[in-house]
Amino acid sequence: MLYLKQERPGSRRDLWIQSLDGLRHTALTDSGRLAGWNRHQVEGPLNGACISPDGTRVAYAERHPVASDRAGLAPVQAWNVLLVVNADGTGRRILVDLRDLPSLPEGTRASSFSWSSDGNQLAYALELPGPGCELLKLYRVDAGSGQVTDVPLNPTQGKSQLLVWSAPRNELVLTLQCGSTGAQRLGVLDVSTGHLREHPAEWPAVSPDGAHALVATPAPAGRKASLLTLDDAFTPESSLGTFTGRLNWYNQRPGGLFTAVTPEPPTTECAGVTPPPRRFHRWDPQTRTHPLVRQDATAFTVLAFSPDDTQALVNILVGRDDSQPGFCGEGWLQRLHLVQRDDLESDLPREQLLARSTPLGPSTPWPGPSHSSYIGWLH
């Protein structure tokens, strides 16, 4: 698995590979210049690196110093060099060097990037400053030759997150948002024509093939979760009601695992420091049902499934931290584990599941950002 490692104290960031037994760690980059950031209201791993669909290559972004910042790139959370490397560390090369561009408006930000599903191209975004909201520009680069071409796009505003690029349909699924608290939109872009269709969405979870998405919209009793087909009309497939939670899509088999969370009342004194009750439901797109597969899933936070769907990367609550007592009692500790999917989607008690899973790191406080460095699975 690929993850980001940052020196503390210090600002050096690099990509590292961890074996599935949790014992071996190997540096994939050693420049210390990796760009990494998260986007508000977007599910998924850290930006700054993107794994090819077959898991054999990694595209990653770095920020390199320049004698004069003539390209106008914003210095905060920006990149100016996009590289690609094989998963074994060979074949490292620069794909895009924004330092070679003519002058851009001051404050231009290089944003997210995504592989096409056939692994032949990457798309990347530039966000130009505008009145009230950023102006989006999209480009694609051939992964072999490095040739860059513009993606035709009518004037579009918003900070972007590129999610899935389906090569058979030549459609790029992305999110757009104006301001840190602005409404989020889910967009589907025809890469050939530049036609963009949009739909309001909060915290979208897009299927690996880019054909479906779980989106949330405000409702009186909480957020209403709906599954959409990403066609011209964003046709609703099913409603999960006012469930609060997230959907982890399977990679090979249809459907996914939905974590339903029972929200705490806002008047609860210890809200946010006590894990809320959770349940697992398996979403079946053929029957459009979501049967319960684990009644008590409070201890588990699912990050992702392995490419063959046999294993899951899961943060598991492993106990209380008596070194940090507080008004609401001792804090909780969590630990990242590799878990068999069949065990996770069963009524196997937590203690037995822990005994049959593989720990991948030390325990860390809950809640906390211990999952934010995870990027994906390599082959």
Cα–Cα distance measured from residue 44 to residue 128, given in angstroms and rounded to the nearest whole number? 24
How many of the other CB atoms lie within 10 Å of CB of 323? 9
Q: Concatenated DSSP letters for 259-311?
A: EEE-PPPTT-TTTTTSPPPEEEEEEBTTTTB--EEES--TTEEEEEE-TTSSE
271-280 pLDDT, tens digit per residue, is 667 788 999 9
Pairing of strands 159-166, 171-177: antiparallel
Q: Are 2 and 28 in contact (CB under 8 A)?
A: yes
Q: Give the CA count within 13 Å in the CB-facing half-sphere of 177.
A: 18
Cα–Cα distance measured from residue 198 to residue 175, given in angstroms and rounded to the nearest whole number? 9
How does residue 108 score in pLDDT terms, banded at 50, 70 and 90?
confident
Average pLDDT over every residue of 126-144: 90
Q: Are 120 and 142 in contact (CB under 8 A)?
A: yes
What is each CA distance from 158 to 48, 143, 326, in whole angstroms?
Answer: 19, 26, 41
Average pLDDT over every residue of 67-88: 73
1-44 pLDDT, tens digit per residue, is 998 888 776 678 899 999 998 889 999 999 999 987 665 445 55
Beta bridge partners of 159: 177
308-335 pLDDT, tens digit per residue, is 999 999 999 998 877 666 666 668 889 9
Enter the pTM of the model: 0.89
200-242 pLDDT, tens digit per residue, is 888 789 999 999 998 887 666 667 788 899 999 999 888 777 6
